[in-house]
Chains A and B, each alone.
Chain A
Amino acid sequence: MKKNHKIAIGLLVFAAIISMLSSMEFTDQWKSDVIIPGPGVTRTAVLSDYFPKLKGEYIDTTVYFLESASPGGTIFVLGGTHPNEPASMLTAVLLIENVVVTKGRMIIIPQANLSGFSHNDPQEGSPRHIHFDTPEGVRKFRYGSRATNPIHQWPDPDIYINQFGQSLSGSETRNLNRGYPGDPNGNYTEQICYGIMELIRQEECDLSIDLHEASPEYPVINAIVAHEDAADMASMAILDLQMEDLEYNLEISPPSFRGLTHREWGDYSNTLAILMETANASQGRLRGRTDEELVLTGKDKMYVKAVELGRLYVPYDESGHPIEERVGRHVAAIRNLTNNLSFIFSDKEIQYHGDPNYYELMENGYGHYLLASK
C-alpha cells in the first residue's frame, strides 16, 4: 500500500472519530428535559391532540393541565417560545411543579418550540445546559436557540414573507413568534403556531400569556405587551405590581406588527393576549463572556458600562439581573394579571396557590422550588 493511501485511511479514521464525538455532543441536546408534574397537575396532553398533523413529530410538545373542581376561568401560560430566553421556560416549570388551582384552571406549555431546544447557537458561545442545585440534587435544563432547528426546517428563504404579506429576514421563517396565527399547511414553525392557536380556541382560554426575555438594550423590556382587548386588565395589573415595587412598562400591541402572539392570539381567538419581557444579558449584543454564569446571574461589566453611557432601557449594576429576579417578575405578573381577570370578569375567576412571590424567589433561589427528579 502506498504511503499516501495509508495516510488517507488514517485521516479518514480521524474524521470519523471527530464526527462521532461531535454527533454525541449534538444528539445529547435532543434528549428531553425532565419536568415533574407537581401536586396540582391533573392531566397532560400533547399539541397534536389539537392539531393531529403534529403527531409523531419532534415538536409535539407536552401540555400540562392544572384543573380545579370549581368552575371559573382558564389561563394559558406559554413558555419556551424562544429557548434562549430561559426565564420563560423556567417560569412555566415552576408553575407546573408547585401550583395548585382551586378555582378555574391553568393550562401550561413549558417548551413551545421543542425544536429550538434541540440545538443552540454555537457562534453565540451559548452554554448547552443550565443547572440548579435543589434540596434533592442537581436539575438541568437545555439552553436552546431562538429558532427552530434547521434539521427540522430548512432551507431558510432569503426573505420570509409572512401570512400577511410582510417581508422579514429569511431566518425569521423559523421564529415561532413571527408565524401566528399559524398555517396548517405552512412550514414546520407555522404548524406549531397553528397547533397553539387551536389549543387556545378549543380550550376557550380567557387569558393567554406568552413569556419572553429580551436583551437589556431592547426598548421593550421589563414590559407587558397587551392586545388592545387586554389593555384595561394589563393596566390594572401594572398598578398592582408597582405596589409590590416591581416596575413595568405597558405597551399596546401595534396593529401592524403581525405574526406575534400579543397581536394574533387576540385577533384570531377570544382570549385576552399578553406577552411579557424581562432583561436577559446572555442574549444581548453588548455582552462580554457568555457562559452559564451569565445566563443565571446576568452579571456583566459590559452592561454596567453600557448603562453608564445611557444605552440601556433597564437599570444595570454589578448585581446583574439573576434568574430568580426574572422568573420572579414573570410569576408576580401572572399572579396579578390573573387577579385582575377575576376582578373584571367575575365568571372567569381563577384562584391558585403554591407559587412563591418575587421576594421569596429572590431569597430562596430558583432551585428551591424544583421537585426531586427520580
Chain B
Amino acid sequence: MITILYQLIIIFFLILVVLDMFKEKNIWNQLTGSIVIIPFILRLLMIK
C-alpha cells in the first residue's frame, strides 16, 4: 500500500515537472527539469 502511495506521489511530481518544461522559456531550466525526471522515472518503475 505504501509503495502505491509513493508511486502516485512520484507521478504527481513527474507531471508537474513535465508541464513546467513545456511552460518554461529558459532552456537551462528546461534542461534542469529533464535531469530531475530521470530519478523519478527510475523510482516510479522501482528500478533503483
Contacts and interface: CB of A to CB of B under 8 A. Distances in A.
A67 to B, nearest CB: 39
Interface in A4-42: 4-5, 7-8, 11-12, 14-16, 18-19, 22-23, 26-27
A23 B22 contact: no
Contact of A26 (B21, B30, B47): B47
A19 B21 contact: no
A178 interface: no
B45 to A, nearest CB: 7
B37 A15 contact: yes
B22 A8 contact: yes
A11 B34 CA distance: 6
Given A12-B18, A154-B3, 16 more contacts: A5-B22, A7-B30, A8-B21, A8-B22, A11-B33, A15-B37, A15-B41, A18-B38, A19-B38, A22-B47, A22-B48, A23-B42, A23-B45, A27-B47, A151-B46, A151-B47
Nearest to B22: A8
A154 B47 CA distance: 13
Interface of A: 4-5, 7-8, 11-12, 14-16, 18-19, 22-23, 26-27, 119, 151, 154-155
30 contacts: A4-B22, A4-B25, A4-B27, A7-B27, A7-B30, A8-B21, A8-B22, A8-B30, A11-B30, A11-B34, A12-B21, A12-B37, A15-B34, A15-B35, A15-B37, A15-B38, A16-B41, A19-B38, A19-B41, A19-B42, A22-B42, A22-B47, A23-B42, A23-B45, A23-B47, A26-B42, A26-B48, A27-B47, A151-B48, A155-B2
A203 B48 CA distance: 36
A14 B41 CA distance: 13
Contacts of A119: 48
Interface in B1-48: 2-3, 18, 21-22, 24-25, 27, 30-31, 33-35, 37-38, 41-42, 45-48
A155 B27 CA distance: 35
Q: In the complex, which of the residues A4, A14, A26 has the most CB atoms of chain B within 10 Å of its own CB atom? A: A4
A11 B48 contact: no
Contacts of B47: 22-23, 26-27, 151
Contacts of A8: 18, 21-22, 24, 30
Interface of B: 2-3, 18, 21-22, 24-25, 27, 30-31, 33-35, 37-38, 41-42, 45-48
A151 B45 CA distance: 10
Nearest to A20: B41
Nearest to B19: A8
Nearest to A30: B47
Contacts of B38: 15, 18-19, 22
A133 to B, nearest CB: 31
A15 B44 CA distance: 14
A11 B31 contact: yes
Given A12-B18, A22-B42, A4 B37 contact: no
A11 B46 contact: no
A16 B48 CA distance: 15
Nearest to B20: A8
Identify which of A8, A26, A155 gathers the most chain B CB atoms within 10 Å of its CB.
A8
Contact of B34 (A5, A12, A22, A23): A12
Contacts of A12: 18, 21, 34, 37
Contacts of B18: 8, 12
Contacts of A5: 22
Nearest to A16: B41
Given A4-B25, A8-B21, A23-B47, A14 B34 contact: yes
Contact of A4 (B3, B24, B41, B46): B24
A186 B24 CA distance: 47
Contacts of A26: 42, 47-48
